[in-house]
Amino acid sequence: MMTVEGLNQYYGGSHTLRGISMTAEMGQCTALLGRNGVGKTTLLRCLMGVLPVASGSVHFEGADITRRSPHERAAMGLAYVPQGREIFARLTVEENIWMGMATKPARDARRIKGEIFELFPVLKEMLGRRGGDLSGGQQQQLAIARALVSEPKLIILDEPTEGIQPSIIKDIERVIRLLRERGDIAILLCEQYFDFARALADRFVVLSRGEVVAKGAKEEMDSPEVRRHLAV
């Protein structure tokens, strides 16, 4: 579904991503693991086209999208749930969800599909509330809902459990598991919370200082080698 090859990125003189190669497959959850500051968010921003890359390539469904704009990528079926949620605090929950449909043709975007409220019942009760008045966990659910209404082929989640209370982490885990079981989407889950990632992942990639230092199937995820790169 998505293939990244030899990707390099710099912030000024600092070589932040060093020859990253990885894939994300349809119907699977790929966990992107690594400590704070290793380059996870930078990589996801490159995949979404928000940051330019110096060299290397990103292919999506066979097409080279390395130089495509974020908008084009969204229209092709990539959706992004940024770290820290970045919902629109002054817009209502309903308006926030509408923003996720911006890439859809008008005829497909006349109403919010009911299934989004089956996944996140709490949002239905809060449609008229301002995004900024929601709890952190509710905002995270809103950010995921906003990404899902574009009906993406690949959803990229940047640390969805960060700063979220355990009961809502469970809700988010349930939703990601459901998406995975449906099998019609690729999930790229960036996490520092190892147990959460392990519960959901089919495959994993570990970053350290901008490099891929380990990758494999979930059976190999709980190894001392992987843990060593995640321990603080």
Ligand X SMILES: Nc1ncnc2c1ncn2[C@@H]1O[C@H](COP(=O)(O)OP(=O)(O)O)[C@@H](O)[C@H]1O
* Nearest-approach distance from CB 41 to Mg ion, in angstroms: 3
Q: Measured from the CB atom, is 20 or 74 closer to ligand X? A: 20
212, β-bridge pairs: 207
Window of 12-20, 32-40, 107-115, 211-219 that interacts with Mg ion by CB under 5 A: 32-40
* Nearest-approach distance from CB 177 to ligand X, in angstroms: 24
Amino acid at 197: A
Q: What is the CA radius of gyration of the chain?
A: 17
Q: Measured from the CB atom, is 11 or 54 closer to ligand X? A: 11
* Nearest-approach distance from CB 16 to ligand X, in angstroms: 5
* Cβ atoms of residues 161 and 83 within 8 Å: no
Secondary structure E strands in the chain:
2-11, 14-24, 29-33, 55-60, 63-64, 78-81, 154-158, 186-191, 203-208, 211-217
State the CB neighbour count (10 A cutoff) for residue 213: 16
Query: Which residue of 16, 28, 41, 66 would you call a contact of Mg ion, by CB under 5 A?
Result: 41
* Nearest-approach distance from CB 206 to ligand X, in angstroms: 11
* Cβ atoms of residues 81 and 148 within 8 Å: no
Binding pattern for the stretch 25-64 against ligand X, x by CB under 6 A and - elsewhere: ---------x-xxxxxxx----------------------
Query: In whole angstroms, what is the distance from residue 76 CA to residue 66 CA?
Result: 13
Q: Measured from the CB atom, is 36 or 167 closer to ligand X? A: 36
Kindly list the residues in this chain that would bind ligand X in the complex (CB under 6 A).
11, 16, 34, 36-42
Q: Which residues bind Mg ion (CB under 5 A)?
A: 40-41, 83
